[in-house]
Amino acid sequence: MPALIRWARFRTHDGIIGFGTYSEVGVAVHEGDMFAAPRPTGANLAIGEFQLQCPCTPSKIIALWNNFHELCAKLGKQPCKHPQFLIKPASCVIGPGEVIRRPTNYAGKVAFEGELGIVIGARCTQLSASQAAEAIFGYTCVNDVTAIGILSENPDFEQWCRAKGYDTFGCLGPVIATGLELAALRVYTRVNGDVRQNYALADMVISPQELVSRLSCDMTLLPGDVIACGTSLGVGSLKDGAIVEVSIDGIGVLQNAFG
């Protein structure tokens, strides 16, 4: 089993953006391309000398729906045979510590969805399931935020992309973990410290490798793209000023305020 490594992007106090391997004491700075033979520089930054940024800059987030058995059962839906998904634009992405902003002129419910995110490490298309494992760079936490009232605003057309594509509605981080063993892990979502979601990744309908394979046959996947694996029970709304945290062991805690 490969060693667990946590990759992070950071901003120093003088505005320099960089990346490296993250630990509890700081970041070992690297150079080059995170997804293609990154090289250690020998420099290290201690905690307090930098701020974590969104760990990647995806061209798109592919967000899954109906991909956990427990939620399928609650909704009375059959598990999907092919990934059911929507696209969140790159412009919606924020990182740890950034604020989720309420859309202008929208006063309705805004919901959180804690999820596992697959981070793609290489340009890929038409992959088999066995090839797909090599295209997965690692995993991150996702908060797939939704303006619930927008979804059915037009009875003739459900507006999934609009409802989920607002600026700041794609929260990613705090790091990308490689060498992560998913089988025993759970996703936790807390709002103001209260656990609102607690579900097992083992309950996923379509596995990460199969998701990458199937989606690569629908569109070309690029380095840094994120596949949000879908959520399970416990989705709820946020009040202005709420602090929402999505955590997965080995990745850490993605924290964002709302409002």
Task: Dump pLDDT digits (tens) for 84-98.
Answer: 999 999 999 999 999
Task: Dump pLDDT digits (tens) for 126-174.
Answer: 999 999 999 999 999 999 999 999 999 999 999 999 999 999 999 999 9
Q: Are residues 147 and 25 in the same domain?
A: no
Q: Are residues 123 and 237 in the same domain?
A: yes
Domain of 111? Answer: 56-258
Q: Are residues 92 and 171 in the same domain?
A: yes
Split the chain (259 residues) into runs of 10 and give each run's mean pLDDT. Answer: 90 97 97 97 98 98 96 92 96 98 96 98 96 97 98 94 98 97 96 98 97 98 98 97 98 97
- Looking at the structure of the chain, the number of domains it has is 2
Q: Are residues 40 and 145 in the same domain?
A: no
Q: What pLDDT score was predicted for residue 1?
A: 59
Q: Are residues 45 and 169 in the same domain?
A: no
Q: Are residues 49 and 72 in the same domain?
A: no
Q: Are residues 83 and 126 in the same domain?
A: yes
Full 3-state SS string of the chain: CCCCEEEEEEEECCCCEEEEEEECCEEEEEEEECCEEEEEEEEEEECCCEEECCCCCCCEEEEEECCEHHHHHHHCCCCCCCCEEEEEEHHHEECCCCEECCCCCCCCCEEECEEEEEEECCCECCCCHHHHHHHEEEEEEEEECEEHHHHCCCCCCCCHHHHHCCCCCEEEEEEEEECCCCCCCEEEEEECCEEEEEEEHHHECCCHHHHHHHHHCCCCECCCCEEECCCCCCCEECCCCCEEEEEECCCEEEEEEEC
The CATH code of the domain that includes 66 is: 3.90.850.10
Q: What pLDDT score was predicted for residue 6?
A: 98
